[in-house]
Amino acid sequence: MVGKVYLVGAGPGDPDLITVKGLRCLKQADVILYDRLVNPELLENAKEGAQLVYCGKLPHYHTMKQETINHFLVKYAKKGYNVVRLKGGDPFVFGRGGEEAEECAKHNVPFEIVPGITAGIAASAYAGIPVTHRTLSKSFAFITGHQAGDACADHQWAHLAKGVDTICVYMGVSHLSTITKQLISNGKSPQTPIALIHWGTLSDQRTVTGTLESIEEVVKTEQITNPSMIVIGEVVNLHNNLNWFQEEIIPNIPAANR
């Protein structure tokens, strides 16, 4: 008897932001394969005897290769177990959930997708930055910072610079210089507001703001590292008034340039 695989989004970090359905799957799972950015508090909901398998990945270092994760999902399900693949954010937003679902389908393993709240929306909201706004932003894009080093993606920068109001960049801190330079060279104003939200939705969340031309120095001074969500666009200016979650960190930048 074959079990079932549930690809569950754990949300952006705050354990309260997992969905009701995601939590129910977690409580019923026989095996839980979980990522590095999953809040450990969520694992306390695992039933007694559930097997916990760490699949965490760091930049340039993978505890477990994606192919191995795919293999384990199929292997445990074919033993008759209910398997939860617990992923930070949403499984289908830069989470390789599509690859894992494909592997299940390839081996005739039943699976289900349980969406989660992605960091591009949640971290922004916790920093008081709406990704859309009736007068400031009628469109937004989610991109991966890794495309900053991808020559095949160079043509996309012109579309992002001129055709999207708000840009949310995942995994982009190490590529920040390339991101800002590409946007400016493709027509985005150097004075465009930008924010970096470090450990979004958690108690130690930090937010720094600046402009495309100033943010590199800000990030260096404030020592902002991964994991951080980058948000670019006029909606960042709302951070000052809508920052409901914590005290903001604003560097010594003239107000007109924030």
Active site amino acids: 35, 57, 171
| Structure-token match 């006029």, residue found | 234
Distances (CA, A) of 256 to 191, 192, 210, 211: 9, 11, 10, 10
Q: What is the rounded end-to-end Cα distance, in angstroms, of the chain?
A: 59
Longest dimension (CA), the chain: 65
- 32 three-state secondary structure: strand
Q: Which tokens in the block code for residue 225?
A: 């590292």
- CA 143, CA 167: separation in Å to the nearest integer? 7
- CA 34, CA 64: separation in Å to the nearest integer? 11
CA 229 to chain centre: 7
Strands 82-87, 51-54: parallel, antiparallel or unpaired by DSSP? Answer: unpaired
Exposed / middle / buried, residue 220 (Cβ in 10 Å: 0-12, 13-18, 19+): exposed
Report the chain's C-alpha Rg in angstroms: 19
Q: Which tokens in the block code for residue 33?
A: 């394969």
Residues 6+ apart with CB under 8 A from 19: 9, 11, 114, 115, 116, 117
